[in-house]
Amino acid sequence: MIDLAALPFDAYLLARRAQVDEALERVLPRAAGRLAAIRDAMSYSLSAGGKRVRPILVLAAAEAAAPGNPGAVALAMPAACAVEMIHTYSLIHDDLPAMDNDVLRRGMPTLHVVYGEGLAILAGDGLVAEAFALMAREPDATGRPDVAGRKLAVIGRIAEAAGLTGMVGGQAIDLRAADRRPGDQPLDADGLQDMHTRKTGALIQAAAVSGAIMAGASDAVAAAIDRYAASLGLAFQIVDDVLDVEGTDVELGKSAGKDAASGKPTYPALFGLDESKRLARQAAESALAALSTAGLERSRLAAIIQWVVARRS
C-alpha cells in the first residue's frame, strides 16, 4: 500500500483522486434495461474527472483530525463521494439553458448537450438522492453509536450546505444579480461575498468539516477546520473569477469569459484583477492562520489552500 504521507503534494493529489474515482464508480448503483439511460447520464458527468477538490478536502481533513489513523479516511470516504455527487449535480444544473447555458464542462460537452435537458435535470436530481442514500448506508454504524452520531451530523451539515441557505440560495442570488429587474441594485462587495459564501463556499466548508467529524475530531479541531474552509471557499471562488478572465477554454475545461459576457457579478468586475488576486491571497492567509490555532499548519490542508491560490485551471 502506498504511504500517502510520504508523497510530494502533486503525487498525493493524484493518488487521492484515483481513490475517489474508484470509490465513485463503486457507489453509483448499477442499472440496466429501462434505467440504463439515466444511469449512463449520471455516470457521464460523475466520471468526467475534474480536480476533485471537495472529496480530497474531506479526506485531507480526516487525515488532519486523526493523524496516523488510516481508518479515519475509510470512515470519511462515503461523505467524500457524496459531496462530489452533490457538486456534480450542481454543475449539471448550472450548465442548463435556464441557468448558465454552457456547452462545455471538464473539457467535455455538457450533459444536456449530449443527453438532452430532461435527462440532465433527472441526472442531477438522481445524484443528490444517491448522495444522501450513500451517507445513510455507509459506513456501517451497526453497534457503533459514535459513528452513527457522526453520520447524522455530517448528513445535516451537507444538506444545509446544499439547500436554501447554501448552494441553492447562492445560485438564486446569482441568477437575480445577472438579470436585474427595475429597482434592483447591483451587488456590492458584501453582497458578492455573501453570494459566493453560499454558492461555492458552503459545500467546501461542509466537505472539510465532514471529514473532521467522521474522523472523530474534537470540537476545537473541527471549529478550526471550519474557519479554515470558510476562507478556503472564498479564495477558491475569487481565483475562479480571475481565471474566467485570464484562462482559456482548454485550461479551464469550460467556456472562459462567460461571466463577463453575461454580466455576472464577479470579483474582477467589482475590484479589478490585481485587487482580486490580493483578496485571494488574504483569504489564504486567514485559512492558514485558522489551521495554526489547532496545530494543523503542516497538514495537507495547508498545502491545499496554497495550491488553490496558485492554480491555473
**Summary mean pLDDT of the chain:** 93
Query: For the chain, how many residues are written?
Result: 313
Angle of CA points 216, 221, 227, to nearest 5°: 125
Cell of 92: 449539471
Residue 16 cell numbers, joined: 487521492
Answer yes or no: is pLDDT of 99 > 80.
yes
Tell whether 79 is covered by a domain.
Answer: yes
Q: What is the pLDDT of residues 42-87, one digit of tens each?
A: 999 999 988 999 999 999 999 999 998 989 999 999 999 999 999 9
Position 260 pLDDT exceeds 70: no
Residue 14 lies in a domain: no
pLDDT band at 261 (very low <50, low <70, confident <90, very high): low
In this model, does residue 94 exceed pLDDT 60?
A: yes
Of the listed ranges 137-141, 201-205, 254-258, the least confidently predicted one is: 254-258
Question: 3 in a domain, yes or no?
Answer: no
Q: What's the domain count of the chain?
A: 1
Residue 250 pLDDT: 61
Compute the distance between CA of residue 138 and CA of residue 146 in angstroms, rounded to an integer: 14
Domain that holds residue 256: 21-310
Position 9 in a domain: no
Q: What is the mean pLDDT of residues 229-257?
A: 82
Predicted confidence at residue 257, as pLDDT, reads 60
The pLDDT confidence band at residue 180, using thresholds 50, 70 and 90, is confident
Model confidence over 111-167: pLDDT tens digits? 999 999 999 999 999 999 999 999 999 999 999 999 999 999 999 999 999 999 999
Q: In which band, very low, low, confident or very high, does the pLDDT at 106 lie, cut at 50, 70 and 90?
A: confident
The answer on pLDDT for 245 being more than 70 is yes
The answer to whether 247 and 260 have CB atoms below 8 angstroms apart is no
More confident residue, 171 or 251: 171
Quote the pLDDT of residue 249.
Answer: 64
Q: 98: buried, middle or exposed (CB in 10 Å: 19+, 13-18, 0-12)?
A: exposed
| Longest distance between any two alpha carbons in the chain, whole Å | 61
Listed range (11-25, 153-167, 233-247, 282-296) with the worst mean pLDDT: 233-247
CATH number of residue 171's parent domain:
1.10.600.10
pTM of this structure:
0.94
pLDDT over 80 (residue 297) = yes
Residue 1: inside a domain, yes or no? no
Q: Is residue 76 part of a domain?
A: yes
Hunting for cell 438579470 — which residue is that? Answer: 179
What is the pLDDT confidence band of residue 313, given thresholds at 50, 70 and 90? confident
Q: pLDDT band for 236, please (50, 70, 90 cuts).
A: very high
Q: At what angle do helices 70-94 and 202-214 cross, to 10 degrees?
A: 160
